[in-house]
Structure 1
Amino acid sequence: MTRHRWAATALCLVAVVAAQAKWPAPPVPSPIGFQSINDDRLSQLRRQAMQFVESRPRQGFQFVERHRDTEFQVHCRGVPVLWLERRSQHLLLRVSLDAEQRAPAVLQLGTLLQWQLQPLGHLEQVLAGVPEPVLLDWVLQVFAGEVPDRMRCGMQ
């Protein structure tokens, strides 16, 4: 009976890996934790992200506001590539692992936003529960392959 369970478990793992190779999930973002900010500062960062999108009208970018006072995103052809989320004790700025390939211009926006924020130290991030990128995320990104040209933004 034990051999059957091992065989069934191994078969399930192979099926999961094969399914991920055939239908890769959107890349997982790598979060970065920052000190909390006030509403005015968040509004300023929101405006910068909106200006980024508005200055590229035909490049496939969209500004998506999840919650006015807590979260906004920049999408590339419907796929999130940058998130800014205010939590109770800190701020998260995340950029998709495939942003360099999918939407290289969004990396500049991420850098601009980061430059204006005070990063949390490593211990502060751990204590605040800021999730860290995992090696598995990077491996899945490698297996996901190239982003098709029709799904890229900023290429004109």
Structure 2
Amino acid sequence: MKFQYSIEDIESVATAILEQATSMTLLFYGEMGVGKTTLIKALSKQLGSTSNVSSPTFSIVNEYEIKDGLIYHFDLYRINDEEEAMNFGIEEYLFNDQWIFIEWPEKLGSFLPEKFNKIEIKLNLDGSRTLKLSTKTNLTKQKAKKQ
């Protein structure tokens, strides 16, 4: 799924993502300031969170309550590599049955969950955004399971 939107359309974008998502793990890719956290705020609201959603740049993870569980919102911008993520226990978050939103997931290296949705956001010259939602499978994890 790929589409262009303006920031005023963020609620309908969030609805479309949740309708199309095939995983509860959403990985957000995009430059600084492209609107990853703004989109996560809209997604969290759609899922029923009444929390004040903000970027967990310094805490690394924020937790938001929703009716049927939790949302874990990660901002990995400040970590250096997957070893640092392991040190704060990210694997405990990744392998549960809750919503997981990760900004800067490239910092995880090969330590991605088995299945996830990848959301790429680009800022266009006119101020609109182009979003691409795709389903991904971590082939490294699948091969490890088979052995």
Q: Do the structures match in fold with TM over 0.5? A: no
Question: Which protein has the larger Cα radius of gyration, Structure 1 or Structure 2?
Answer: 1
TM-score by length of 1: 0.26
TM-score by length of 2: 0.27
Higher helix content, 1 or 2 = 1
Higher strand content, 1 or 2 = 2
